[in-house]
């Protein structure tokens, strides 16, 4: 998946302030809700700031409806994006598991119906 920071405008490069904010001051917990502790905080909108290493991000917690807007550096945004990617992969894995379970249940029901002679050629006409 693409990172939020992959959307930079290459024509809008400002040589002033090219150094990103130091890594040790980065807040890498943007995915955590400070109100309810949920790990499901999502970005609702983002835009790059004049300093190309900073992003304004609007976030929302789907569990308690907490919202916040803030400016964050690329280290923070990349960590947030990595958590979002992990969540996407977890959801995709769960979706595949549910699809498999549903198809397995349907196939078992079809095999049982065939075994009990409950399906005939008329069912397919």
Between residues 13 and 83, the one the model is more confident about? 83
Instruction: Give residue 6's pLDDT.
Output: 52
- Single pTM value for the model: 0.63
Instruction: Give residue 110's pLDDT.
Output: 93
Distance in angstroms (rounded) separating the CA atoms of residues 34 and 59: 12
Q: CB 38: neighbour CB atoms within 10 A?
A: 15
For CA atoms 79, 68, 65, 32, the dihedral sign is: positive
Whether residue 105 is predicted with pLDDT greater than 50 in this model: the reply is yes
Tokens of 113: 């119906």
Distance in angstroms (rounded) separating the CA atoms of residues 97 and 53: 39
Distance in angstroms (rounded) separating the CA atoms of residues 18 and 41: 29
């Amino acid at each position: 998946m693409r990172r939020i920071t992959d959307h930079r405008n290459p024509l809008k490069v400002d040589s002033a302030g090219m150094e990103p904010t130091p890594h040790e001051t980065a807040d890498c917990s943007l995915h955590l809700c400070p109100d309810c502790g949920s790990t499901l905080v999502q970005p609702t909108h983002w835009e790059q700031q004049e300093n190309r290493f900073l992003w304004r991000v609007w976030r929302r917690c789907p569990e308690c409806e907490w919202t916040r807007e803030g400016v964050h550096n690329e280290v923070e945004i990349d960590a947030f994006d990595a958590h979002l990617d992990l969540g996407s992969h977890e959801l995709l894995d769960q979706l595949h598991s549910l699809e498999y379970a549903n198809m397995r249940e349907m196939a078992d029901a079809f095999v049982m119906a065939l075994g009990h002679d409950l399906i005939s050629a008329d069912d397919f006409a």
